Amino acid sequence: MPLLDPAPLSPPPRSDTAPRSGVLAALWLPADSQGRLLRPQLARHLGWLRRQGVHGILALGSTGEFVRMSLAEREAMLAVVMELAAPLPVVVNITSIRLDEVVALGRAARRFGAAGVAIMPPYFYPVSQADMLEFFLRAAEAVDLPFYLYNFPELTGNRIDLETAAAFSEGAAMAGIKQSGGEFGYHHDLVRLGDEKGFSVFSGSDTRLPEVFAIGAKGAIGGLANIVPDLMVSLHAICRLGRPGDPSVAAGRMQALGRVIDRMKFPLNVAAGLEARGFEPGAPKTVVSETSRALYASIVQELRELFDAWGLPRA
């Protein structure tokens, strides 16, 4: 049986609305104890994100815990996200270790009207750069949407090297790359390459946005945008767009938030931040120990006190 359905796509013509800059929220997905999406809670959160001025959404990414879902669950959740997020542009993470699943979800994203798709390297097994590039190119050929590479080697176990990003940009419609993880200096090389090849660099280093924008990154895609989009949008406006203002207060608050929230493992720490800001994050999507539950409660309380001290209203 072939991996890919050779049947051609025939969607209506569409313009390239893929975000090239700005703050995109790497969306948290609230679910009940059975894994069912909590639609009213998600609608409330997305409405608030729109009012706070975020420029788009990354759906079903690492913050959205896509690896804990089946392909059918991801497609079902995506349909709801696309409906509720409008008119914000939505970039859909279509990562999977299987190319057929990548293509299936990418084609679903296209049917639903996504602005673009993001893809991480296949994970768990080591992957050569040549094989990674071939995987990406086949996905791009089959899906036919603007692509964002998504580099997060601490999670996937496989790094997207500069040469692979360059080759992909020459062979596919590459809108951007998201750089996440501990290799902050890699932003410099990616920005230089993006300027040469015509794609944008987005950072996942939420707590270092002034540095990110000074390097030349065009935007940020982060989990903390679920919690403090007001701070992140302000930093983008001042540091990237050159609008008047002092970024030091917002930057200091982002760093303070990071110190508290990083006491808990990602992505459950994002849920704690959401609860502290006044949202219902839903049930954990995996087993959580009593130790972690106690830590979670303490972080929620500490963040509430921080937000109150800063004058950030509960949603």
pLDDT digits (tens, 9 = 90+) for 126-162: 999 999 999 999 999 999 999 999 999 999 999 999 9
| pLDDT category of residue 16 using cuts at 50, 70 and 90 | confident
The pLDDT of residue 4 is: 38
Residues 193-212 have a mean pLDDT of 98
Residues 288-300 have a mean pLDDT of 98
Name the CATH superfamily, with its identifier, for domain 22-239: Aldolase class I (3.20.20.70)
The pLDDT of residue 9 is: 36
- pTM score, whole prediction: 0.94
Residues 91-104 have a mean pLDDT of 98
Give dist(CA 254, CA 235) in Å, integer.
10
pLDDT in tens, 17-64: 899 999 999 999 999 999 999 999 999 999 999 999 999 999 999 999
Residue 5 has pLDDT above 80, yes or no: no
The pLDDT of residue 2 is: 31
